[in-house]
Amino acid sequence: MARRLSLDRKISHSLYYFAAKITSFGYPASTDKFFRHFSSLLTLHLDHSFNDEILYYSFYPDSFYAYLIDNSTQKRHLNQIHARLLVLGFQKSGFLIKKLINGSSNIGEIGYARKMFDDFAEPDVFLWNAVIRGYSKHNMFVDAVETYWRMQFNWVSPDGYTLPHVLKACSGLPALEMGRQVHGQIFRHGFESDVFVQNGLVAFYAKCGQIARAMTVFDGLHDSNVVSWTSIISGYAQNGQPMEALRIFSEMRKTNVKLDWIALVSVLRAYTDIEDLNHGKSVHGCVIKMGLELEPDLLIALTAMYAKCGQVTTARLLFDMMKIPNVILWNAMISGYAKNGHAEEAVDLFRVMISKNIRADSITVRVAIVACAQVGSLDLSRWMDNYISKSEYRDDLFVNTALIDMHAKCGSLDMARTVFDRTLEKDVVVWSAMIVGYGLHGRGREAIDLYQAMMQAGVCPNDVTFIGLLTACNHSGLVEDGWWIFHCMKDYKIEPRHQHYACVVDLLGRAGYLDLAYDFIMKMPIEPGITAWGALLSACKIHRNVQLGEYAAKQLFSLDSCNTGHYVQLSNLYASARMWDHVRKIRIQMREKGLSKDLGYSLVDINGKLQAFRVGDKSHPRYKEIYEELESLERRLKQAGFIPHIDSSLHDLNNEEIEETLCNHSERLAIAFGLISTPPGTTLRIIKNLRACVNCHEASKLISKLVNRQIVMRDANRFHHFKDGVCSCGDYW
DNA sequence: GTAGGGTTAG
């Protein structure tokens, strides 16, 4: 307030001064009129920044207007100045109008700049540059390139200022062929030693994935500066070669070129990619030493680095340091949470962002949708769907694909299908997302039908489409269809990857064709990996084939000796064959390697809030009621003739203990709590971190009938819909 | 009036 007052005093002094001066220049207006005019310009100027220079400029109207134009950040400011200039009789082709075009172009008011530009009879190269730069700077690359060709059509030759912007437009499209032509022109016009143009070429080839060409241009540079080095370093980082990027960085350190903050950002990106926390930290140290720790974009790179390396708390500290975080920082933090299993924090942060009216971009919403899918709550997914449908992203292809995936993972195939149906111009990924969704819910037939509809629509499948189809067949026991689909792959010249082979092994193995599955593995053209042997082992467990299972396990342990899951699988296989000695041996091995079984937990969705339960959990405030409900359920199950299987690795407990442990399984607690917390008839929605166990699966089927409720359960692999005593998976999972 | 960077990835 105090500052404002003293400014006001300064202004009023300068206003009188200005008015007196300006009339002496002979402008056709009264002092009074100019007084009002100048005062409006000053208020306008106060909208952005004000400093004492204004006192100087008030003696020179031309310079004063030039100053105003240079400092304008809004179209209405430029508009007012433009109007004044015309009223004051400035020439249409004069220096100030040129400045105005340049200024509007810089702030992104390109349509406005273009209108003034089109009024020029013979625009010079400066003006062409201004328009091209405006387009290129604001991602209107097609217009930039088009204007560039039009310029040459009008016999204006590009200069050293034109070419970097044109190259940027070619990289942004990206348009490799066009950029090559521009490269030819650069050669013909003799810009081989213009470091600005050559740096533009390095960045152009790198962005188009032509990293070798980028390197050739870089090597040919007479005097490379920090921009050249940054271009080539980030080029390698962007092309998935972080190690090479870092090697070049160490080359750079041997030269006299001084690092700046953008160079550090590129180096950080490389360390982030290889998740090298230690080197990332040392760059952080360097940042602090150079006094750059408040540089917003470095803060983003550092936040992303810590988040990607799993240090979410440190990332959050940096995030909170930024006074006015921009979208990219929000994106880095939200995705950092989502990537490290903090899906709920990711969603919470997204909600904070919305509540602060910060504009989310398409990356933000995509990350947030992925986080919602991870959380798995139906209410949350509906909320997100509602948010998107009211947003500007409702027709965004990428956003809709993520939505389809989210709805499927949150248990609502109908909502997934609604989004799918309203998505126009579906590409192969949209179709695949829907097919994968059907697969997740064991709706193999629908998946195959959709695949055929996709063929009809003339969309070519890709490798993900086939993963979806094969998984769908797996989850529905469609052995023959799966086999046929696998062989369709070669019609589209798609090389099957590990996952495809594993699907087929799974498909054959689960159906009991263990020998076929084994033969299939032996005939694989690529070295069978963990996925294929893992699928065979789990099939051997289902069908109690100890000999083959042991062989598969041996292969698995030679590939990865520290995976808990494989030991548990083998131990379960032995247990199913009642080979208790072997079970014990496996347990000892696990203990020696310091491996322990993953703890199971289940979440139940009560009015959109997820409540978590572990095995034998008694931490809930209503645990007494929950256990009473559980006991009553248990009684009713027994009356209905339910006999628990005792084949898992619980052999060293006595029968009573076994039964107790089984009915204390987290999903049973979640079901019991769901029953006492919701009105009769409400569908229960449960999310489990592991695969459903045989007993709980059987019990859930029966419970759905006894209490007349639908139970929808997402386990680590797929969905189960329990209703009237049966499960949608047909006991096939 | 020039150039380089950061967030995602079904």
Q: What percent of chain A is predicted at pLDDT more than 90?
A: 51
Q: How confident is the model at residue A687 (pLDDT cuts 50, 70, 90)?
A: confident
* Distance from C-alpha of A702 to C-alpha of A712, rounded to nearest angstrom: 14
Residue A168 lies in a domain: yes
Q: Domain end: A592, A620, A638, which one?
A: A592
Question: What b/e sequence results for A415-439 when a residue is b if at least 16 CB atoms lie within 10 Å of its CB, and e otherwise?
Answer: bbbebbeebeebeebbbbbbbbbbb
Mean residue pLDDT of chain A comes to 85
**Using one digit for the tens of pLDDT, what is the confidence trace for A592-601?**
888 777 677 7
- Give the model's pLDDT for residue A35: 44
Mean pLDDT of A585-598: 81
Domains in chain A, number: 3
- Residue A612 is classified by DSSP as E
> Does residue A180 share a domain with residue A84?
yes
Computed on alpha carbons and rounded to an integer, the radius of gyration of chain A in Å comes to 34
Q: Which nucleotide is nearest to A427 (CA to C1')?
A: B10
Q: Which nucleotide is nearest to A366 (CA to C1')?
A: B8
Residue A673's identity, in one-letter code, is F
> Does residue A205 share a domain with residue A73?
yes
- Give the model's pLDDT for residue A8: 47
> Does residue A165 share a domain with residue A194?
yes
**Using one digit for the tens of pLDDT, what is the confidence trace for A461-498?**
999 999 999 999 988 889 999 999 999 998 888 888 88
B strand bases under 7 Å from protein CB: 1-10
Residue A150's identity, in one-letter code, is R
Q: Domain end: A536, A559, A592, which one?
A: A592
**Using one digit for the tens of pLDDT, what is the confidence trace for A535-560?**
899 889 888 899 999 999 998 888 88
Domain that holds residue A548: 405-592
- Give the model's pLDDT for residue A368: 96
Separation between the CA of A37 and the C1’ of B6 (whole angstroms): 43
> Does residue A686 share a domain with residue A586?
no
CA A654 from centroid of its chain's CA atoms = 50
Q: How confident is the model at residue A86 (pLDDT cuts 50, 70, 90)?
A: confident
Hey, which of A27-41, A83-97, A122-136, A673-687 has the most confident mean pLDDT? Answer: A122-136
**Using one digit for the tens of pLDDT, what is the confidence trace for A135-146?**
999 999 999 999
> Does residue A584 share a domain with residue A624?
no
> Does residue A547 share a domain with residue A694?
no
Residue of least CA–C1' distance to B6: A301
Separation between the CA of A404 and the C1’ of B10 (whole angstroms): 9
Residue of least CA–C1' distance to B3: A196
Mean pLDDT of A283-297: 92
* Distance from C-alpha of A440 to C-alpha of A721, rounded to nearest angstrom: 11
Q: Domain end: A212, A237, A252, which one?
A: A252
The CATH number given to whatever domain includes residue A52 is 1.25.40
Mean pLDDT of A342-360: 93
> Does residue A630 share a domain with residue A489?
no
Q: Which nucleotide is nearest to A226 (CA to C1')?
A: B4
* Distance from C-alpha of A55 to C-alpha of A51, rounded to nearest angstrom: 8
> Does residue A626 share a domain with residue A574?
no
Q: Which nucleotide is nearest to A334 (CA to C1')?
A: B7
Q: How confident is the model at residue A164 (pLDDT cuts 50, 70, 90)?
A: very high
> Does residue A651 share a domain with residue A559?
no
Least confident of A35-39, A315-319, A348-352, A436-440: A35-39
> Does residue A609 share a domain with residue A588?
no
Residue A674's identity, in one-letter code, is G
**Using one digit for the tens of pLDDT, what is the confidence trace for A389-432?**
999 999 999 999 999 999 999 999 999 999 999 998 899 999 99
Question: Over 50: is that where the pLDDT of A1 sits?
Answer: no
More confident residue, A544 or A1: A544
Separation between the CA of A269 and the C1’ of B4 (whole angstroms): 14
Mean pLDDT of A707-719: 82
Q: How confident is the model at residue A232 (pLDDT cuts 50, 70, 90)?
A: very high
- Give the model's pLDDT for residue A50: 43
Residue A275 lies in a domain: no
Check whether the bond before A174 is cis (ω within 30° of 0). Answer: yes
Contacts of A622 (CB under 8 A, 6+ apart): A673, A676
Helix residue ranges, H only, A543-646 = 546-559, 564-576, 580-592, 623-639
Separation between the CA of A263 and the C1’ of B5 (whole angstroms): 7
Query: Taking a C-beta distance cutoff of 8 angstroms, is the pair A539, A510 a contact?
Result: yes
Residue A145 lies in a domain: yes
Residue A398 lies in a domain: no
Question: Over 80: is that where the pLDDT of A12 sits?
Answer: no
Mean pLDDT of A299-310: 94
Residue A88 lies in a domain: yes
- Give the model's pLDDT for residue A29: 41
Q: How many CB atoms lie within 10 A of CB A80?
A: 17
- Give the model's pLDDT for residue A64: 67
- Give the model's pLDDT for residue A651: 53
Helix residue ranges, H only, A525-563 = 530-542, 546-559
- Residue A690 is classified by DSSP as S
- Give the model's pLDDT for residue A325: 85
**Using one digit for the tens of pLDDT, what is the confidence trace for A199-221?**
999 999 999 999 999 999 999 99
> Does residue A643 share a domain with residue A571?
no
Q: Which nucleotide is nearest to A257 (CA to C1')?
A: B4
Q: How confident is the model at residue A47 (pLDDT cuts 50, 70, 90)?
A: very low
Q: How many CB atoms lie within 10 A of CB A174?
A: 15
Separation between the CA of A364 and the C1’ of B8 (whole angstroms): 8
Least confident of A303-312, A359-368, A600-609: A600-609
- Give the model's pLDDT for residue A79: 83
Q: Which nucleotide is nearest to A162 (CA to C1')?
A: B2
**Would you put residue A700 in left (φ > 0), alpha (ψ -120 to 50) or beta?**
alpha
Residue A260 lies in a domain: no
Residue A437 lies in a domain: yes
> Does residue A221 share a domain with residue A174?
yes
Residue A361 lies in a domain: no
Residue appearing with tokens 């076994």: A658
Separation between the CA of A423 and the C1’ of B10 (whole angstroms): 14
